[in-house]
Amino acid sequence: MLTDHRASAPARPVDARALQRIAARVARQPDVPWLHREVARRMAEKLAWIKRRPATIVDWGAQAGGSADLLSRSYPAARILPVESCGVEPAETSAMPWWRRLQRKAPRPVPPGECPDASAELVWSNMALHHAADIAAVFREWRRITVVDGFLMFSTLGPGSLGLLRDVYRDARWGPPLAPLVDMHDLGDLLVESGFADPVMDQETLSVTWAQPEALLHDLRALGGNAATDRHVGLRTPRWRRALCDALEARRDLSGRIALSLEVVYGHAFRPSPRVRGAETTTIPLEQMRAMARGSRGRS
């Protein structure tokens, strides 16, 4: 494993164990989250800009990423290796839609440590990075498994997400509704510190509306959960849930719907050729130094 690059992640107070449980629950769902499908489609459109045709693709966070079909259509000759970092097994076949059951013929997901060094021309990760407690460590793993001149594409939630929900929690003094998310500029810096080159970061804000607060909460749960270190500890009561729904009801927009914003961050980078490092010390024989000194006096 390559360990010559070390990046220091931006401060992100997060409960790592809770985050792992959340990631495993999202990955076990019988269907891909609705937002992940849409983001995967948008990210796949960017592949048209890439001239290189990867022979091996690592699909990081494959089960919840919903990208297998898109990658297969974009690169029909490529070998696609699904990777799961949260150690989950595929959902039960009986709970899957028919199209997900067909995907059981694909290779089973493997843990990140089973990916060989420099084994993928493309590392792809759709909506999985915000489920990582140590983003710098993930970037180092991505660099390790990417070949020289191979490329990386990923998407993740940005800090501009769920502003209305954060306002509701703040006004009610309920603590944060989710763990802090990392800004795209910090992600770009981490990519460089982790050994990638020419990072291109982009973001867009999606506005999603719901007719009822219960439907909103149901859909948000399919996307993740709250892993903030200062979140409420323990189970919430039905009375609290009713108060949350009432607060969301009070924030309907002019069209009568409840709108939430979701910031989606996209990242793209290459793994460059390793730099040739010069020797840290230079040894010069004493006689050579004396000769150099004599020559210097002769020229003065």
Please tell me the predicted confidence (pLDDT) of residue 79. 96
pLDDT for 20-41, tens place per residue? 999 999 999 999 999 999 999 9
Domains of the chain: 16-274 (3.40.50.150)
Please tell me the predicted confidence (pLDDT) of residue 279. 53
Residue 191: half-sphere exposure toward Cβ, Cα within 13 Å? 26
Please tell me the predicted confidence (pLDDT) of residue 9. 47
Buried b vs exposed e over 28-43: b needs ≥16 C-beta within 10 Å? Answer: beebbbebbbbbbeeb
Task: Flag residues of the chain having pLDDT under 50.
Answer: 1-10, 90-95, 101, 104, 299-300
Question: Amino acid identity, residue 215?
Answer: A
CA dist 66 and 254 (Å) reads 34
Please tell me the predicted confidence (pLDDT) of residue 234. 78
